[in-house]
Amino acid sequence: MLKRNPAFKNLIQLEHPLVKSYITKIRDKNTSYFEFRTYVDKLSMLLAYEAGKELGLKAKKILTPLTPFNGTVIKDEIVLMPILRAGLGLTNGFASIFPEARISHLGVYRNEITLQPIRYYFKFPRLKDKKNSIVYILDPMLATGGSMCSAIDEAKKTGVGKIVAACLVAAPEGVKEVQKYHKEIKIFTCALDKKLNHVGYIVPGLGDAGDRLFGTL
């Protein structure tokens, strides 16, 4: 089940009971980093399933053990682009749903004073057919929107056919920022939170996703 927010045209929020339960678990400050990673992995698979509805299909004739069959397969080349480092937490879940996906990496960190994104690394695969390709940009937290906008800019430079953003938790400020500069981009999320605090953290949020994923608190 998906929820559409009239205030944000291209924001798609998952409403599945498992999503609500797992989000609550990763919000809990008493959840261990091991449990945190486990539930993030489960959430990323649910997120990938729904975001997979953006994929295109093509006809394919096959032979079953009994007869010829006119079936369908995914026509798009899929690229997963996690924003380092926290975006790595969503990669396994997406890769399990899209096993043939290639994986790009984008290194962006946020200046803690200006809150502006600073890119330090980008590696993108060679694609056979850029027109029929889709990039999923992965980041657990859509906060100010700066890192996501920077990632979308980089993805657009590659000439891919479609770009989709995926996050676990989003702030209204971040969604507005993405839709201000990239109106056509769909954002799939598990939760839309209330706001950003004075230092740019999502409230109620779940803290620093990278630290909680990798046990570096």
- Cα 67 from Cα 129, distance rounded (Å): 31
Catalytic pick among 27, 38, 119, 208:
208
Give catalytic status of residue 211 as yes or no: yes
Catalytic pick among 38, 41, 119, 211:
211
> Position of tokens 């997406």?
94
Give catalytic status of residue 110 as yes or no: yes
Catalytic pick among 27, 85, 102, 110:
110
Give catalytic status of residue 114 as yes or no: yes
DSSP 91-160: HHHHHHHSTT-EE-EEEEEE-TTT--EEEEEEE----S-STTEEEEEE-SEESSSHHHHHHHHHHHHTT-
Catalytic pick among 64, 67, 114, 126:
114
Q: Which residues are catalytic?
A: 110, 114, 208, 211
